[in-house]
């Protein structure tokens, strides 16, 4: 037997010890320097070891493990190649019957499988299967390594299924994995790993066939896997990713938002535990991108799609160009850009989508199971570009790609439904544009096939039914056959009533049903509008932020309430019209009021429910006031905190809904916190009639509620139109711009006064002739009435009329031809807001806090604020507690604190209306803004008057005309039943004058009575008119009263 020289033998022994020691240190500490030293020693050791040396195979195997370990940490493919080379040499030198032979073969199987996953070379996959089979055959039954060998067989066969859609390999993979699990006793440390493998197999089989039993089986394994992990132990990142995938898919098929939130939670944990540079990092980022993308599709929050694109960009950047995962990364990125285009309409996003999808398609090999998905996705983007640019070539490409995708998709594949839907939509679109009846029939054929293949209870059922409704509606319009009309209505109805469907899809189907039925005089249109109105709380979900809700209202609900009300009026149902107007307008304010609802009616016997309800309501109200600026935060730990806040908000909304359902199960509480019926809404008319003006594009009407009345009276305003209201609003805005009315200040007009005053003259005359005078006539108020005994009218206006000074309607060059001659006017955003004030009761008030800001950086000085506060102090005298905050003492925090303590509040300062983010409108105080979102979190108790002596405190947002998104409504909802505000900027000299007259009347003899605020303001403005002249409209007309 040959022997080594003494020196060589000593050096080899020294290197063996050093290599083992360094590798041990690396495994203990994770320091890559130790791994580098171990490899260096081992390479030198091999170079010194002759081929005939009996233990050479041991040294080679050890070095292969080190290279594989370095590959796992750094992702360098050269390390994986060296691992395989050394493993092969070790295997070839290992004697037959050697106890480690099976292990060597198993290592080769693992490494070839890893290289296949990196390079997509099918020969590596074949070798992985070959070595797995051989390793298993070399491992005797009962051997402790048997489960690992079976697991390797399962993994390699599963990969073959994923790559080649080999269904036999899928079943073999599951068989091997189940056998492996059966050999591992409960409590064994390897059991969670094998449970996770089976979870993946059943999950992928579900993706392939869509059988919910497979998804439930995967979930069973997931639950057991989680139960195996001792409390306090960290879950490996790859297992967290597996858990996320299960919940993600379950959300896609069952629609439970909790599942998606859990997916994001696990994805974020997996990402945080994956070190930078790790080969799995792109997968973690891609999964996060997918989860955020899906949540955007559900909730519509733009920050989610921005995160999805950011994560997917990072995943793509970290993925090597020559990598089997690259086509998937590109495709995912393209899909997210596509969806952002759908939301924002930015053609640049669509072009990016097409670019990435084309690259993905080009890199996907023929015969790859994902190729149909790539083609289908690309077809969808070309379809949308056709809609944007009307280039017929794009539509032809869309259909071509979709036909290819469908032809390449096996009939038993779960994605075949998507292919059929896309084809149906594209043929439908081509018919609509080019009127070829063959396309119409093809569209219906594919849509019908898609519907018939969709299981009952699947979220996509609603979409399929809606598509069929559109197809049959188009067919009816083209051919005029009554059967097609009935089919369209039936499909729309079933889509809107499909409880598993996405709320926004169901809402859209209900509207399509309502409009088609109304146009064709089919009586079911009222039922359809009712369903659409009832879906509003699900579409404008209280679990999203206020900004998200407003954005959804702009996109989907604009004009719905007035449209539905006009239809109900035409059907002779003014009470129903009133209810729909209340439910479909000021939605966010109504939700806020709902959270503040008194719970006394539940009684002492339900005190635990009351406590829970109050706690959840308060927390939910606070959690939904997220600032839009949070969207700008980068990916990192802060984002995880924001995600926790979002998920907490979703959970609170779910608990709130569940608790409400629980209360409604109690005897006598079936209608707890449901929308108020008309007989309750009519109770809002306390101090005089309420006149609700419905301004719809088809007609305009007044709905009138009288105190003590039992009917909603209807008056058609036949001469007023939506267009007149819009034109009048434009005229007023133009006139105010020319008058220089931008902020509270004493200003000079930009042009001669007579020019812009003529706009006012015209608008106020129109409002008198077409709205105010007909209403006064109907009410019987045009007779001779004492100026001191004028009746009180509360106006609830809609659409563009909400931006017009209806209270100032009239001819100012004629006697007794103006609204103020016959009535005192107030406004209210909703009847519910008035009812809340009525039900809050009457309290004795004794204190006022007045805030003045004479100087605000970037704005004109307001010396009038000092005089204004002096007037209030004078009228308060000794009998009313008066507190004053000015200049640097008036910070938002201190002001809010004093608002809590005092009964009334007066704010004399600059204010602004934010166009980009309505919740950031606010009052300019010392060095900061007291904004609407901060006030919205408050629920003040037993308050009285809020006098907002600032500019534009009742202006609102044109895009949200029926939401009353302004500071005055905010104060009303926050707990001040009576609010004096301004529709545009007032002069600094006029504000103290009006305040002096108002408080002089309200604080007479030391008593505080906010219920006279409307009357006090009316007479104060009348005096201002006499002082300035009737034609100074821009000076006196902005002052209005809102509320009770």
Instruction: Give the model confidence (pLDDT) of 135-191 as tens digits.
Output: 999 999 999 999 999 999 999 999 999 999 999 999 999 999 999 999 999 989 899
User: For 846-893, what is each residue's pLDDT tens digit?
Assistant: 899 999 999 888 788 899 999 999 999 999 998 899 999 998 999 999
Residues 61/87, Cβ–Cβ less than 8 Å: yes
Query: β-strand 928-931 against 1039-1043: which pairing, if any?
Result: unpaired
DSSP 354-367: HHHHHHHHHHSPTT
Q: Which of 14-23, 247-256, 644-653, 913-922 has the lowest mean pLDDT?
A: 913-922
What per-residue confidence (pLDDT) applies to 624? 63
List 715's β-bridge partners, or say none: 702
For the chain, give percent helix, strand, coil, nearest 5: 65, 5, 30
What's the confidence (pLDDT) of residue 734?
Answer: 85
pLDDT at 841 > cutoff 60: no
For CA atoms 374, 377, 380, 386, give the dihedral sign: negative
Is it the case that residue 1 has pLDDT exceeding 70?
no
Beta-strand relationship, 911-912 and 945-949: unpaired
pLDDT confidence bin for 219, thresholds 50/70/90: confident
User: Mean pLDDT, to the nearest integer, of 81-97?
Assistant: 94
Contact 305, 340 (CB under 8 A): yes
DSSP letter for 747, please: -
Q: What is the mean pLDDT of the chain?
A: 89
The domains found in the chain, sorted by start residue, are: 1-75 (no CATH), 843-1008 (3.40.50.1460)
pLDDT exceeds cutoff 80 at 1029: yes
pLDDT band at 755 (very low <50, low <70, confident <90, very high): low
667 vs 663: CA distance, rounded Å: 9
Query: Using an 8 Å Cβ cutoff, are 152 and 102 in contact?
Result: no
| For range 681-698, the mean pLDDT | 96
pLDDT of residue 632: 37
pLDDT of residue 756: 62
739/452 Cα distance (integer angstroms): 64
Q: Is residue 636 over pLDDT 60?
A: no
Dihedral sign, Cα of residue 821, residue 824, residue 826, residue 832: negative
- Mean pLDDT of the region 297-315: 94
Bridging pattern class, strands 904-908 and 847-852: parallel
Q: What is the mean pLDDT of residues 454-458?
A: 84
Exposed e or buried b for every residue in 381-394, given b needs 16+ CB within 10 A?
A: bbbbbbeeeeeeeb
Which residues on adjacent β-strands are paired with residue 716? 701
What pLDDT shows up at residue 323?
A: 87
Kindly tell me the sign of the dihedral angle through the C-alpha atoms of 1007, 1010, 1015, 1021. Answer: positive
Rounded Cα distance between 939 and 970, Å, is 10
Backbone torsions φ then ψ of 371, nearest 5 degrees: -60, -45
Strand (E) positions, 789-869?
792-797, 824-827, 847-852
The DSSP bridge pattern shows strands 928-931 and 978-982 to be unpaired
| C-beta of residue 862 within 8 angstroms of C-beta of residue 747 | no
Contacts of 33 (CB under 8 A, 6+ apart): none
> Worst-scoring range by mean pLDDT, 382-391, 468-477, 971-980?
971-980
Q: Could you tell me the pLDDT band of residue 255, with boundaries at 50, 70 and 90?
A: confident
Q: What is the pLDDT of residue 63?
A: 95
Query: Greatest CA span in the chain, whole angstroms?
Result: 132
Rg (CA), the chain: 36
Residue 545: C-alpha distances to residues 5, 556, 615 (Å)? 78, 16, 18
What SS3 class is residue 210?
coil
What pLDDT does 321 receive?
Answer: 79
Structure tokens at 836: 């809340």
Per the DSSP assignment, residues forming a β-bridge with 1039 are 982
What is the C-alpha to C-alpha distance for residues 781 and 283, in angstroms, rounded to an integer?
73
Place 5 in a pLDDT band, splitting at 50, 70 and 90.
low
CA distances (Å), origin 155, targets 104, 109, 297: 17, 10, 33
From the number of C-beta atoms within 10 Å of its C-beta (0-12, 13-18, 19+), residue 783 rates as exposed
**Residue 2: burial class (beta carbons within 10 Å; 0-12, 13-18, 19+):** exposed
For residues 919 and 547, what is the distance between their CA atoms, to the nearest angstrom? 7
Is the per-residue pLDDT at 1040 higher than 70? yes
Query: Percent of the chain scored above 70 by pLDDT?
Result: 94
Rounded to whole angstroms, what are the CA distances from 816 to 9, 459, 822, 886, 1034? Answer: 120, 62, 8, 43, 21
- Which pLDDT score is estimated for 838? 66
Token digits of residue 777: 């006539």
Length of the chain: 1044
Confidence band, pLDDT 50/70/90 cuts, at residue 637:
very low
Taking Cα atoms as reference points, which of 585, 583, 582 lies closest to residue 684?
582
Structure tokens at 1004: 């007479």
pLDDT > 60? residue 706: yes
Question: Can you spell out the DSSP letters for 109-143?
Answer: HHHHHHHHHHH--HHHHHHHHHHHHHHHHTS-TT-
More confident position, 485 or 985: 485
Query: At which residue do the structure tokens 């064709």 appear?
Result: 520
- In this prediction, residues 26-48 reach a mean pLDDT of 92
In this model, does residue 329 exceed pLDDT 70?
yes
**Structure tokens that stand for 954 in this block:** 């009742």
Local confidence band at 641 (pLDDT 50, 70, 90 cut-offs): low
* CA–CA gap between residue 742 and residue 278 (Å, rounded): 57
Q: Answer yes or no: is pLDDT of 486 > 80.
A: yes
Average pLDDT over residues 557-584: 96
Distance, in Å, from the CA atom of 854 to the CA atom of 866, rounded to the nearest integer, reads 7
The mean pLDDT value for 12-41 works out to: 92
pLDDT at 12: 84
Give the strand pairing for 792-797 and 690-695. Answer: parallel
Q: Is the pLDDT of residue 921 over 90?
A: no
Percent of the chain with pLDDT over 90: 65
pLDDT of 569 > 80? The answer is yes
pLDDT of residue 4: 53
Place 979 in a pLDDT band, splitting at 50, 70 and 90.
Answer: very high
Of the candidates 649, 662, 552, which has an alpha carbon nearest to the alpha carbon of residue 610?
662
Question: Is pLDDT at 752 greater than 70 in this prediction?
Answer: no
**Rounded to whole angstroms, what are the CA distances from 748 to 751, 862, 987?**
9, 15, 10
Q: How far is CA 922 from CA 586, 910, 914, 971, in A?
A: 19, 9, 8, 11
């Amino acid at each position: 037997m040959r022997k080594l020289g003494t020196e060589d033998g000593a050096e080899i022994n020294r290197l063996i010890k050093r290599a083992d020691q360094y590798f041990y240190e690396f495994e203990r500490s994770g320091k890559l320097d130790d791994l580098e030293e171990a490899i260096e020693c081992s390479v030198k050791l091999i170079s010194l070891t002759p081929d005939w040396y009996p233990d050479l195979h041991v040294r080679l195997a050890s070095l292969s493990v080190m290279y594989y370990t370095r590959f796992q940490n750094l992702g360098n493919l050269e390390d994986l190649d060296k691992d395989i080379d050394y493993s092969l040499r070790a295997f070839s030198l290992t004697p037959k019957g050697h106890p480690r032979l099976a292990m060597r073969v198993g290592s080769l199987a693992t490494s070839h499988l890893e290289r296949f996953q990196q390079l997509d070379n099918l020969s590596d996959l074949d070798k992985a299967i070959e070595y797995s089979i051989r390793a298993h055959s070399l491992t005797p039954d009962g051997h402790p390594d048997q489960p690992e060998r079976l697991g390797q067989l399962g993994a390699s066969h599963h990969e073959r299924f994923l790559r080649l859609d080999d269904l036999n390999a899928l079943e073999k993979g599951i068989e091997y994995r189940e056998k492996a699990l059966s050999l591992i006793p409960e409590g064994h440390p390897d059991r969670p790993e094998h449970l996770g493998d089976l979870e993946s197999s059943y999950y992928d089989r579900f993706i392939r066939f869509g059988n919910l039993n497979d998804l439930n089986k995967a979930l069973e394994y997931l639950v057991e896997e989680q139960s195996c992990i001792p409390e306090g132990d960290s879950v490996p990142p790859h297992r967290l990713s597996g858990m996320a995938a299960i919940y993600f898919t379950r959300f896609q098929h069952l629609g439970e938002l909790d599942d998606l939130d859990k997916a994001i939670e696990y994805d974020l944990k997996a990402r945080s535990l994956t070190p930078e540079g790790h080969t799995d990092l792109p997968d973690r980022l891609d999964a996060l991108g997918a989860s955020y993308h899906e949540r955007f599709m559900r909730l519509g929050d733009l920050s989610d799609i921005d995160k999805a694109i950011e994560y997917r960009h990072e995943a793509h950047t970290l993925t090597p160009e020559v990598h089997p995962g690259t086509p998937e990364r590109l495709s995912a990125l393209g899909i997210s850009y596509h969806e952002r285009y759908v939301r924002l309409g930015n053609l640049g996003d669509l072009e990016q989508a097409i670019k990435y999808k084309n690259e993905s398609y080009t890199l996907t090999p023929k015969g790859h199971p994902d190729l149909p998905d790539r083609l289908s996705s690309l077809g969808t983007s070309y379809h949308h570009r056709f809609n944007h640019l009307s280039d017929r070539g794009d539509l032809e490409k869309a259909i071509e790609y979709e036909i290819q995708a469908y032809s390449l998709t096996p009939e038993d594949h779960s994605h075949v439904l998507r292919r059929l839907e896309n084809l149906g939509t594209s043929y439908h679109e081509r018919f609509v544009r080019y009127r070829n009846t063959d396309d119409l029939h093809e569209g219906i054929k594919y849509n019908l096939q898609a519907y018939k293949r969709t299981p009952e209870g699947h979220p996509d059922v609603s979409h399929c039914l809606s598509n069929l409704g559109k197809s049959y509606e188009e067919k009816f319009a083209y051919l005029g056959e009554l059967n097609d009309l009935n089919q369209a209505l039936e499909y729309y109805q079933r889509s809107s009533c499909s409880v598993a469907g996405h709320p926004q899809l169901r809402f859209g189907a209900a509207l399509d049903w309502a409009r088609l039925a109304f146009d064709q005089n089919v009586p079911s249109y009222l039922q359809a509008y009712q369903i659409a109105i009832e879906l509003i709380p699900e579409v404008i979900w209280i679990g999203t932020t206020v900004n998200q809700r407003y954005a959804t209202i702009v996109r989907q609900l604009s004009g719905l309430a007035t449209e539905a009300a006009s239809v109900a009026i035409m059907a002779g149902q003014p009470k129903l019209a009133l209810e729909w107007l209340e439910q479909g307008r000021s939605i966010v304010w109504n939700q806020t009021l709902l959270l503040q609802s008194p719970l006394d009616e539940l009684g002492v016997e339900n005190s635990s429910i009351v406590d829970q309800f109050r706690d959840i309501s308060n927390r939910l109200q606070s959690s939904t006031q997220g600032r839009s600026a949070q969207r700008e935060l980068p990916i990192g730990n802060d984002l995880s905190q924001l995600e926790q806040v979002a998920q907490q908000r979703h959970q609170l909304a779910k608990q709130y809904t569940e608790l409400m359902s629980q209360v409604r199960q109690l005897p006598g509480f079936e209608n707890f916190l449901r929308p108020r019926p008309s007989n309750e809404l009519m109770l809002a008319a306390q101090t005089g009639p309420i006149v609700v003006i419905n301004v719809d594009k088809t007609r305009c009407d007044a709905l009138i509620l009288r105190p003590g009345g039992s009917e909603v009276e209807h008056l058609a305003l036949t001469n007023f139109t939506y267009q007149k209201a819009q034109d009048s609003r434009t005229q007023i805005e133009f006139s105010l711009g020319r008058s220089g009315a931008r902020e509270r200040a004493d200003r000079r007009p930009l042009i001669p006064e007579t020019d812009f005053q003529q706009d006012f003259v015209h608008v106020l005359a129109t409002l008198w002739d077409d709205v105010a005078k007909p209403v006064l006539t109907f009410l019987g108020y045009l007779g001779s009435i004492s100026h001191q005994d004028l009746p009180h009218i509360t106006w609830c206006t809609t659409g563009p009329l909400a931006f017009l000074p209806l209270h100032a309607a009239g001819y100012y060059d004629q006697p007794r031809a103006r609204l103020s001659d016959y009535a005192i006017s107030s406004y209210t955003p909703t009847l519910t807001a008035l009812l809340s004030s009525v039900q809050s009761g009457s309290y004795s008030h004794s204190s006022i806090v007045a805030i003045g800001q004479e100087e605000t950086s970037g704005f004109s000085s307001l010396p009038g604020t000092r005089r204004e506060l002096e007037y209030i102090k004078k009228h308060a005298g000794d009998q009313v507690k008066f507190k004053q905050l000015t200049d640097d003492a008036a910070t938002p925090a201190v002001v809010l604190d004093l608002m809590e303590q005092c009964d009334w509040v007066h704010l004399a300062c600059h204010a602004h209306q934010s166009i980009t983010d309505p919740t950031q409108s606010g009052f300019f105080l010392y060095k900061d803004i007291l904004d609407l979102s901060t006030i919205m979190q408050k629920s003040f108790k037993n308050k009285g008057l809020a006098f907002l002596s600032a500019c534009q405190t009742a202006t609102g947002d044109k895009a949200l005309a029926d939401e009353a998104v302004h500071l005055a409504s905010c104060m009303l909802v926050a707990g001040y039943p009576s609010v004096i505000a301004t529709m545009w900027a007032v002069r600094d000299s006029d504000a103290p004058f009006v305040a002096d007259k108002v408080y002089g009347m309200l604080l007479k003899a030391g008593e505080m009575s906010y219920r006279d605020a409307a009357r006090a303001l009316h007479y104060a403005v009348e005096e201002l008119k006499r002082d300035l002249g009737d034609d100074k409209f821009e000076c006196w007309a902005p002052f209005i009263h809102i509320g009770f």
